[in-house]
Amino acid sequence: MIKVAPSILSANFAHLADDVKAVEKAGADYIHVDVMDGHFVPNITFGALAVKAIRPVTDLPLDVHLMIENPDQYIGEFAKAGADIISVHAEACTHLHRTIGYIKEQGVKAGVVLNPATSAESIRHVIENVDLVLVMTVNPGFGGQAFIHGMLQKIREIRQMADEMGLSIEIEVDGGVNAETAALCREAGADVLVAGSAIYGKKDLKDAITSIRGV
Ligand code: DX5
Ligand code: ZN
């Protein structure tokens, strides 16, 4: 069963608790938390304090996507704040293998994220150390951008790599996911679909989540 992870980037920040509870009730599997620092990406959102504030509001796993420079410095804080999965960008980590080890030492699941320009091949030597690979299907920084179709091939390549190595990692896709592009991602081998505007932009959250999951 495909998992759906609503991104609270598209929620109403003044009513975050309500918006988190609403997607939980509507059948979400993870809460996707987009952390942006204004350096790695050209936008600023929130930090570990927001994760800490959301933690008691939901029983769902908090899937924290760090779009920040120097993630090593903040991983401990996000783990302590209640993150269940912490994903770092391959492009932001000079010593990616060490950073992944550091995330796991905190007792949380580790994910690695690939920008559109980064190849599947670039994570061949760390894929067996992660719990999740997040394939960006937009350039990170903003919600509501158009899905880059060329990334479907990358999803297939990572699926194949994981299958050949006998790994049970999750492949997550983030950016421009809606009912139509979700079907393409599922076909390419995705396990977890992140969606911001295609969920929070809809009146019927349950219907939005169901159409992305495809069942
Ligand atoms: C983009 C973020 C995404 C974003 C997706 O930088 O990582 O999680 O919220 O938004 P949509 O689904 O609207 O493309
Ligand atoms: Zn994200």
Q: 148-180: string of b/e by CB count within 10 Å (b at 16+)? A: beebbebbbbbbebbeeeeeebbbbbbbbbbbe
> pLDDT class for 4, splitting at 50, 70, 90?
very high
**The CATH fold of domain 3-213:** TIM Barrel (3.20.20)
pLDDT at 54: 98
Place of tokens 């939005």: 208
Q: Which of 34, 63, 131, 191 is catalytic?
A: 34
Q: Is 198 exposed, middle or buried (0-12, 13-18, 19+ CB in 10 A)?
A: buried
Which pLDDT does position 174 carry in this prediction?
99
- Under 8 Å CB-to-CB from 184, ≥6 apart: which residues? 149, 152
C-alpha 42 – ligand 1 centre gap (Å): 13
pLDDT tens string 86-103:
999 999 999 999 999 999
**88 in Cβ contact with 63 (< 8 Å):** no
Tell me what the mean pLDDT of segment 102-108 comes to: 98
Residue 76 pLDDT level (bands cut at 50, 70, 90): very high
Give the C-alpha separation, 213 to 4, whole Å: 6
Give residue 53's Cα distance to chain centre: 19
Q: What is the pLDDT of residue 51?
A: 98
pLDDT of residue 21: 98
DSSP three-state, residue 153: helix
For ligand 2, an ion, list residues with CB under 5 A: 34, 65, 174
pLDDT tens per residue across span 161-204: 999 999 999 999 999 999 999 999 999 999 999 999 999 999 99
Neighbours of 38 (CB within 10 A): 13
Give the pLDDT confidence score for residue 129 in this predicted structure.
98
Nearest protein Cα to ligand 1, atom 6: 140
What is the pLDDT, as a whole number, of residue 210? 98
Nearest to 172 by CA among 116, 114, 94, 214: 114
Termini Cα distance of the chain? 9
pLDDT bracket for residue 53 (50, 70, 90): very high
Which residues lie with the beta carbon below 6 Å from any ligand 1 atom?
7, 9-10, 32, 34, 65, 138, 140-145, 174-177, 194-198
Burial label for 87, CB within 10 Å (0-12, 13-18, 19+), is: buried
CA–CA distance, 77 with 130 (Å, rounded to integer): 20
Token pair, residue 66, equals 């760090």
Segment 145-159 mean pLDDT: 98
Question: What value does the mean pLDDT of the chain take?
Answer: 98
The pLDDT value recorded for residue 34 is 98
pLDDT at 73: 98
CB 6, CB 195: distance < 8 Å? yes
The SS3 of residue 136 is strand
Which atom of ligand 1 has the smallest separation from the CA of 10?
9
Partners of residue 192 on adjacent β-strands = 3, 172
Region 34-52: mean pLDDT is 98
* pLDDT on residue 126: 98
